[in-house]
Every structure is written in structure tokens, then in C-alpha cells.
Amino acid sequence: GQQLNQSPQSMFIQEGEDVSMNCTSSSIFNTWLWYKQDPGEGPVLLIALYKAGELTSNGRLTAQFGITRKDSFLNISASIPSDVGIYFCAGRRGSEKLVFGKGTKLTVNP
Amino acid sequence: EAEVAQSPRYKITEKSQAVAFWCDPISGHATLYWYRQILGQGPELLVQFQDESVVDDSQLPKDRFSAERLKGVDSTLKIQPAELGDSAMYLCASSRQGLNTEAFFGQGTRLTVV
């Protein structure tokens, strides 16, 4: 089946720092999504990308749909303590089911 | 703000017992999904409904799992008998019908099989 490689697995940063994480696939996708999940809660959609090269922002979050269609990146600027959580990428090809990465666990030290 | 409702939030059951989870999607959302999320992993799709019809249950272990959405609104996922390896978070999500309509997730049911 399709595999998504998400990195890094975990990050420990200081409040105020910028964060970058990425997701790569062995297959071409035409949709990339980024979710955040807090402990004991369901994932919440942050950003949706539908076009190769697309760059989309949501507040301090910016995500890009890679030109090759096999990768996507999420950046968080000026991190704050409430950014703590697990960030998941997810990709979809056509009408096929959504495939999730294993997540990047973010810890922000005040 | 509309949200996907799930119950119970937590469930502890003994192995070989039956367990059921309930989901009420956002009003007007024709598509409903059940996902299983093992600790340290991303969610994996178990079953997808379009209205009352199953459109994808290829990853549902049908010997013990069943899902229904009889009136095309709320849905129930059942496990019988439960096994230790079924311990996980069970997430329900729903979306509108159509292209580029993404799913909203509920808070999930945390199942522990002992």
C-alpha cells in the first residue's frame, strides 16, 4: 500500500523558534492535508493543498504542495506553547482513501 | 459550531466481550468514516459510508468488526469478540459530498481491552 514518510518523528524547541516538518511519498498525490492532534482528541484540519506548487498560510502556519507531487512541507513561525501536539500529514490520490503519516510530535519549551 | 459527536469517550472491556461505539456526524454530511488509530501511528481507515451504503470496507476485519449506518445519519461500529490488539483510539469523521471536501473528526473513543 501507499506509504507516507513523515519527519522528523519528534521535535523539541524553544518558544519563539520556527519549526519545519515534511512528508514524502513514493506515489504521486493530488491532495495534501496537514492536521494537528492534541492528546486524547481527534485530528483538526490545519491546511489543505490541492495544486502542485501551492503555498497556503493559516496564521503562523504555512504549508506547501511539492512540485513533484510526492512531498509537502509545513512551517510554523514564532512557536508558542499551545503549538504543542502531534502534526500529521495526509495525502490522497484522486478518489482513493486518505493515507496518513505517522506524525511529528512537537514540544515547545517556554 | 457543528461537530462530530462520538460516545463513549473511553471504554474498558475484557477480551472476548462485545463493544460498540456510536457516531453522529455533522448535519448534512453524507460521507462518514471510521478510523482506527494505534498509539504512535496515524489514523487508518476501517470503513467509509456514502449515505447508508458502504463504499470502502477493505481494511475492516470482518470476522469481528461490523459497521452500520441504517438511516444514513448516525453510525455504530461494533467489535465482537474484542481482542487485546484492538486497544486503540476509534475516530469517526464526516464530510460533505463532492470534490475537495475534507473530513471533520470527532473526539474519538479510546478503547482498552484487558
Pair type for strands B19-24 and B31-37: unpaired
Q: What is each CA distance from A52 to A24, A43, A74, in whole angstroms? A: 14, 24, 15
In whole angstroms, how large is the CA radius of gyration of chain B? 13
Which residues are CB-neighbours of B62 under 8 A, at least 6 positions away?
none
Contact assignment for A97 to B42 by CB distance below 8 Å? no
Pair type for strands A104-109 and B44-50: unpaired
Residue A71: pLDDT over 90:
yes
CA–CA gap between residue B77 and residue B19 (Å, rounded):
8
The answer to whether the CB of A13 falls within 8 A of the CB of A20 is no
Residue A3: pLDDT over 80:
no
- Per-residue pLDDT at B70: 87
Pair type for strands A44-49 and A31-37: antiparallel
Which residues are CB-neighbours of A73 under 8 A, at least 6 positions away?
A20, A21, A22, A23, A63, A64, A66
Write the residue in B44, B91, B100 that is nearest to A42 by C-beta.
B91
Q: What percent of chain B has pLDDT over 90?
A: 89
In chain B, positions 43-102, which contact chain A (CB-CB < 8 Å)? 43-45, 48, 56, 91, 93, 100, 102
Write the residue in A42, A48, A103 that is nearest to B102 by C-beta.
A48
pLDDT digits (tens, 9 = 90+) for B41-98: 999 999 999 999 999 999 999 999 999 998 989 999 999 999 999 999 999 999 998 7
CA angle B75, B57, B37 (to 5 degrees): 75
pLDDT band at A94 (very low <50, low <70, confident <90, very high): confident
Contact assignment for A97 to B45 by CB distance below 8 Å? yes
Contact assignment for B42 to A98 by CB distance below 8 Å? no
Query: Any chain B CB within 8 A of the CB of A103?
Result: yes
Contact assignment for B102 to A42 by CB distance below 8 Å? no
- Per-residue pLDDT at A1: 53
Q: What percent of chain A has pLDDT over 90?
A: 90
Residue with the bigger pLDDT between A94 and B7: it is: B7
Q: C-alpha grid cell for residue A82? A: 499551545
